[in-house]
Amino acid sequence: MNKELINIFLIQILILAEIIFVLMFIVKLNRTLKHERRIVKFSVQSEKEKEISYLDKASNILSKITSKFAKNFKKYAFFQKTANKYEKYLLENPNKDKIEYLIIRYAIALILGMIVLIVTRIQNMEHSIIYTIIAILIGYQMPKIYWNNEYNQYQFAISQNTLEAIIIVNSSIRNGSTINEAIFIATKQLNGPISLEYKKINHDITYGLAIDQAFARFYQRIPNQNNQYISQTLTFYKKINGDVNQAFEQIEKKLYEMREERNNGRLIDLITNVLTRIFCSIPIAVFTIFLVFKKTYTEMWFNQIEGFLILSIILLFYLIYLFQVRKARAIL
């Protein structure tokens, strides 16, 4: 019986490992395709290179399937309301429908649940329904974790390159360009997510929005400290009828100061994190060494009531110790 349980456990581990491997492959493939789409715009391709690859064809087929389902899901107010929380993921894919993200979550949850249900039924495992429910919940959450990671990376990339974009705008203004021309020049010189966002700003300005309104919309899309300061400064200069060129000069100086403060803060955080981990791991290391080399003293901790009490007191003191370390870290 024990051998059968071990075999079943090993099969489950292998299946889980295969699922994780496939998901990691899909994530890596998706990132590779994104980089390829960005690079291909600036490269010269032969006729053979212009042929669509099988992976691109598969990606296009999946996109068509999800878009067809999205049209049907749009008819129901419940799905429309539920899909609103996926709107932030459209920053990199503005042509995609937010309901498609909801469909992808449902599909992965269903597929993973069906796989686990079939496997558990074939092996005559008990509690197969419970395993299936757990698999459905995991499958439903996995895409969101991936999208959140992509979204955070997108925001971080913009935050890191905001000062560079403002420097380009200021440099263009000093060379005699108007603010509209300076924004357009920035879209050509910038790369990555910040370039995409400045194209949106340029689009807003082209269609009649004022510069402060365009950057206010930018702040709504990417709500971080840098964009908040830019939006507030431009709004303030507009209210006092100030010079926009001077506003961008002030913005550049302030963003540079803010970057220096963040760099200093990151160094302090790094030091405190390292010290915290060291201080938290010392008691565990000492306790582990004691368990290994003093077995005669530690056996009673797991075999007798008095031992459990001693072990509970040790854990309590360790929790108090962790609380004090965290408190000291907050002071630093």
**pLDDT at residue 215, as a whole number:** 92
Domain end point (choices 104, 122, 156): 156
**pLDDT at residue 47, as a whole number:** 47
Long-range CB contacts (within 8 A, 24+) of 304-313? none
**pLDDT at residue 33, as a whole number:** 56
Residues of the chain with pLDDT below 50 are 1, 41-50
Q: Quote the CA–CA distance of 61 and 270 in Å, as a whole number.
A: 45
**pLDDT at residue 11, as a whole number:** 61
**Residues 182, 241 within the same domain:** yes
**Residues 252, 294 within the same domain:** no
CB 147 within 8 A of CB 31: no
Show the tokens assigned to 199.
Answer: 């194209």
pLDDT digits (tens, 9 = 90+) for 162-186: 889 999 999 999 898 888 899 999 9
Number of domains forming the structure of the chain: 3
**Residues 24, 121 within the same domain:** yes
Domain end point (choices 229, 256, 283): 256
Question: Would residue 40 count as lying in a domain?
Answer: no
**Residues 289, 324 within the same domain:** yes
**Residues 102, 11 within the same domain:** yes
**pLDDT at residue 89, as a whole number:** 73
**pLDDT at residue 213, as a whole number:** 92
Domain end point (choices 256, 285, 304): 256
pLDDT digits (tens, 9 = 90+) for 182-241: 999 999 998 888 988 999 999 999 988 899 999 999 998 888 888 899 999 999 988 888
Domain span including residue 107: 7-31+58-156
Question: Would residue 26 count as lying in a domain?
Answer: yes
Place of tokens 């498609």: 100
pTM, 2 dp: 0.58
CATH (domain of 179):
1.20.81
Q: Which CA distances in Å does 20 have to 12, 13, 15, 109?
A: 12, 10, 9, 14
Show the tokens assigned to 130.
Answer: 């419970």
Question: Would residue 39 count as lying in a domain?
Answer: no
**pLDDT at residue 1, as a whole number:** 47
**pLDDT at residue 323, as a whole number:** 73
